[in-house]
Amino acid sequence: MKRRQFLKAAGLGVAASAVAAPAIAQSMPELKWRLAASWPKSLDTLFGSCEFISKYVAEMTDNKFQIQAFAGGEIVPGLQVLDATANGTVEMCHTAAYYFFGKDPTFAFGTAIPFGLNTRQMMAWYYQGGGNELFPRATFLVQRAEMDAARAFIGGAAGRYSPSPIDFDHPLDYRLLDGEHDVWGDGTVVLMPTYGHTPGHQSLFLKFAKAGPIVLAGDLYHYPEEKTLGRVPTFDTDMEATRRSRRSLEEFAATLGAPIWTATDPQALRPVIRLRPPSAEVWFGTDQYGRDIYSRTLYGGRISLLVGAVVSLASLLVGVGVAAGAGILLGLPVLRLPKEREYKVELKLPIVEVSGGAV
């Protein structure tokens, strides 16, 4: 789809989104899946994520795709959800892969095992360490320029872009793209070519029925300062191409009124002020990522401070209440101080004879 055609179609779609369901929802069949979780409903941080994704999938598809989450034990016990999914009892499950270490020791690496990969390392493995092999039935939409550059490296021309065969040399379903690609054909999910960071870098345009349009910039911007200050990382493959892609994407987003989401949290990472010493602006200084250590300390201790304050207040109220109630109901005597008395004290010193004299 050409940019001019897409802007026209997307603009009409945004104008009509308030009165019509998304085209993708109109064209897709109705699906009802069951999700078996390993967690009880009382673990909101875990079971709550199942309900969260179920809610948003339903909203994005105008309730055509509904996922009903079941807690551990409601359909199958919590440690049997993987088998239940494999044999078709349920369509999907939410669990921790290391629970099934006995089936395959490598399953442990799918979860945060002690001394294993942290979040960044896990994502790096997925994206750049062969993790794509875990998705043999997935379709990979790749810009032709990206694949050409990756394969050119195998021939010896590394340049500033140094992929490895482990990133892409798999018998997977790769679809090579040349420019913009409307994934569903209705303007709701569109891949945008934003070359520069890598030879075939892409950004993603999404149009939601309720939230409206947004743009996920990917690695076109790493930090908000790159956008506000116009900076381009020196490690980009083609810095000038990055600038052109940014201008094009910003114009596109402005036309549709779509916010651009950068790759990192603007409140969490601020590399421009990294490792600053304590000052009036940042009382405890900043860490290696530019984060304010003072605010992070308060934020990290918010639970402990709140618990301490609540316990102290509760102790005060209970103590005063018990003492007052005991005095009123049990009629305990009131401590009275004795009255003042007068005492007469006489001091007599013995006579001591010293050298014929008396003292």
Q: Any idea what the CATH number is for the domain that residue 30 is in?
A: 3.40.190.170
- Give the pLDDT score at 21: 39
Contact in structure between 269 and 24 (CB atoms under 8 Å): no
Q: What is the pLDDT of residue 120?
A: 74
Task: Report whether 163 contacts 212 (CB < 8 A).
Answer: no
**Total number of domains in the chain:** 2
Would 244 be classed as within a structural domain?
no
The one-letter amino acid code at 198 reads T
Mean pLDDT of 12-22: 35
Neighbours of 101 (CB within 10 A): 13
User: Is there a domain that residue 57 lies in?
Assistant: yes
Structure-model confidence comparison of residues 168 and 20, the more confident one: 168
116, 137, 168 — which closes off a domain? Answer: 116
**Residues of the domain holding 56:** 20-116
pLDDT tens per residue, range 59-85: 878 888 999 999 999 999 999 999 999
Confidence of residue 305 (pLDDT cuts 50, 70, 90): confident
pLDDT confidence band for 337 (50 / 70 / 90): low
Report d(CA 317, CA 340) in Å as an integer: 37
Q: Is residue 288 part of a domain?
A: yes
Position 73 in a domain? yes
The residue with greater pLDDT, 19 or 115, is 115
CA dist 204 and 189 (Å) reads 7
Neighbours of 5 (CB within 10 A): 12
Q: Looking at 66, 85, 116, which one is the last position of a domain?
A: 116
Whether residue 132 is contained in a domain is answered as no
User: Which position has the token pair 């602006």?
Assistant: 281
Residue 92 lies in a domain: yes
- Evaluate whether residue 291 is within a structural domain: yes
CA-wise closest residue to 248 among 206, 277, 275, 217: 217
Q: Which residue has the higher pLDDT, 132 or 234?
A: 234
Arithmetic mean of pLDDT, 288-311: 76
> Which pLDDT value is given to residue 7?
44
Out of 116, 131, 148, pick the residue that ends a domain. Answer: 116
Question: For the chain, what percent of residues have pLDDT higher than 70?
Answer: 73
State how far the alpha carbon of 24 is from the alpha carbons of 1, 31, 184, 227, 303, in Å.
17, 13, 7, 32, 43
Q: Model's pTM, two decimal places? A: 0.54
Q: Which of 25-34, 184-193, 218-227 has the lowest mean pLDDT?
A: 25-34
Give a yes or no: residue 250 inside a domain.
no
What are the E-state strand segments in the chain?
A: 31-37, 65-70, 92-94, 139-143, 173-177, 181-182, 189-193, 202-208, 212-216, 260-261, 353-354, 357-358
| Higher pLDDT among residues 339 and 170, named by residue | 170
Mean pLDDT calculated for residue range 204-223: 86
| Helix, strand, coil percentages for the chain (3-state, nearest 5) | 40, 15, 45
Task: Give residue 35's pLDDT.
Answer: 96
